[in-house]
Copies of this chain bind each other. A is one copy, B any other.
Amino acid sequence: MANNKKTTIKDIANVLNISAAAVSKALHDDSRISAKTKEAVKKVAEELNYQPNHLASALRRGKSNLVGVIVPRTNSNFFSSVIQHIEEVLDKEGYNIIITQSSESFEKECKNIDTLLFTQVDGIIASMANETIDLNYYEKIKSKGIPLILFDRGENDLNVDYIGIDDYESSHMIVKHLAEQGCKRIAHIGGYRHTRIYNNRIKGYIDAIKKYDLPIEDELLVESSLTIEDGRKKMSQLLALKNRPDAVYAAGDYAALGALQVLQENEIKVPDDIRLIGFGNEPFTSMLSPSITSVNQHSEKIGALAAQTFLERVKMNPLVQTLNKIILEAELIERDSSK
């Protein structure tokens, strides 16, 4: 295997004394080629270690033209929409993407990173799992010298490009909207505090509550995994309080959906008795009755900007690179559940 020269279709054709076109047809199982010839072509191709994949040549140039994407789950409109828009931008530039999901597990995320590095991706665009605290595996990507771009759930400590929305300000916008309508006891079903974006939403909630001279009470602020099930659980918990909230702001739409189910099962009117706001603008929020007020996280822009940032990174001189931290302003989509 000392021969580093790439085997071409012509090499195979020369060995068999047939045309290159016939070799190509044989390799694609064309019906115009006899079974005997196909067999001969495939045997020679194997002997010469022929790599029919056009990507193989890209790899020899040190490029796979693959970009790896890691998401907590594909079963979320936000993440699948970001993926869609990453793909649209990268497809035009000749890149293919491969997707892995962490299912919110740190261990799985580490495996995903190993998998993507193994497949020789030219870069990784990722949003972290809920569980992830240890950043060693992300450092591993950086140490390989390939671009790492984080979106939505990222960590400042990593010092890499990041695209997301202003989570702190989003909470201000929500509390303002509820306070202006006379809500006095606004509860927050927040995400995990160790996840930067959820922590920022919690901080924003606390500061905004103070700003509007509303009560800050431990019992009104609960930490949640933000699934439908946990949204149900946390809403039941809030309903069991002596002094119930008159508004609930959930840091995720699925948790808001679980909360709505519990409220409706208990015949509590939304928005009349309790106002409800979610986060993420999942399509179902507009389909429900009442429709749920939510926050548009600009998945289209985030996907496109993440892809463009990757493209800049691979084109730019590493010495002149400065970090991109793109923080988009979120948009409150006011619906029936909050007014």
Contact = CB atoms under 8 A, between A and B. Distances in A.
Interface of A: 2, 28-29, 42, 53-56, 59, 64, 66, 73-75, 77, 80-81, 83-84, 87, 91, 96-101, 103, 108, 111-112, 114-120, 136, 139-140, 143, 257, 283-284, 287-289
Contacts of A59: 118
A83 B101 contact: yes
Contacts of A283: 284
A74 B55 contact: no
Contacts of A87: 101, 103
A32 B320 CA distance: 30
A118 B56 contact: yes
Q: Copy number in this complex? A: 2
A131 to B, nearest CB: 15
Contacts of A103: 84, 87
B287 A115 contact: no
Contacts of A257: 287
Contact of A100 (B55, B97, B108, B288): B97
A125 to B, nearest CB: 14
Contact of A29 (B83, B136, B287): B136
Nearest to A38: B143
